[in-house]
Structure 1
Amino acid sequence: MRLTRTPRPRYRRRRTLLLAELVVLTLLTSRVNAHADTVVLALAASVEEVLNNIRNWLMGILAGLATVFLTIGGVRRVFGGGDPGEQEKAKEAFKAAGIGYVLAALAPLVVEVLKGIVGA
């Protein structure tokens, strides 16, 4: 005995069309007022403040990434056991972490150079 099924694509099309109609109807009936007010997006008062914010973000991102590499290197070192390949990967992760910490420490110097270039 064979069961007959209703064709699904037709119902899918109907559902899709109904959903599209509802979206269009919602967009047309919603009341959105356009305002011509001036919006100030800049929160910094000076170029020096912007550069200090860049320095802080740069130091935070670099230190965070360096910490992630330090953690990965430590995990590989511990769980690598006697596998020389894993030990080498752990050493590379430690090197990357060291480079990240050095760059994070040099971020204020980079910002000072940018301040000299910009004249802030």
Structure 2
Amino acid sequence: MSFVSTARRTAVRRTLVVITEVVGVALLLFAAGVSAAHAETVQVLALAGSIDQVLTNIRNWVMGILAGLATVFFSIGGVRYVMGSGDPGEIEKAKTAFKASGIGYGLAALAPLVVAVLQGIVGA
């Protein structure tokens, strides 16, 4: 009898994790839609003054995207770890998500180095 209730609890927890992930993705898509709608109403002409400014903008975008994705993976890993409640498979998936977030944060930290190398190649 306890096996059935344990299996049922595990299924409920997994369902909650999936619902949490779907809500998170929906919120991200909604936020992207809101910012896109705002971008349509405001016309901004952005011209870069130099190659150095273009590379700096690229660095900022890359760092922002990588840090954002790393934060999403860190959040997913945390939710999986908390909701896993001792299930070795879920704990391993949570650790994998934590590793992915660490790699993402590391790449975001290295983005200025990559841009410095590009500046050296371009000569800016």
State the Cα RMSD in Å. 1.0
Determine which of 71, 74, 79 is the counterpart of 2:78: 74
- CA distance in 2 between counterparts of 1:82 and 1:67 reads 23
Q: What's the CA shift for 1:42?
A: 6.1
- CA distance in 2 between counterparts of 1:80 and 1:48 reads 47
> Which residue does the alignment assign to 1:55?
59
Determine which of 95, 111, 115 is the counterpart of 1:111: 115
Q: Segments of 4+ in structure 1 off by > 4 A?
A: none
Q: What's the CA shift for 1:49?
A: 0.2
Provide, for residues 67-102 of structure 1, a one-character-per-residue CA deviation record: whole Å limited to 9, x for no partner. 000000000000011110000000000000000000
1:96 matched to 2:100? The reply is: yes
- CA distance in 2 between counterparts of 1:98 and 1:73 reads 11
- Any gaps of 5 or more consecutive residues in structure 2? 1-44
Higher-Rg member (1/2): 1
Partner of 2:61, secondary structure, is helix
Amino acid at match of 1:85: G
- Any gaps of 5 or more consecutive residues in structure 1? 1-40
More helix by share: 2
Provide, for residues 34-78 of structure 1, a one-character-per-residue CA deviation record: whole Å limited to 9, x for no partner. xxxxxxx76101000000000000000000000000000000000
Q: What's the CA shift for 1:106?
A: 0.2
Residue identity over aligned pairs, in percent, reads: 79
- CA distance in 2 between counterparts of 1:76 and 1:69 reads 10
TM-score computed with the length of structure 1 as normaliser = 0.65
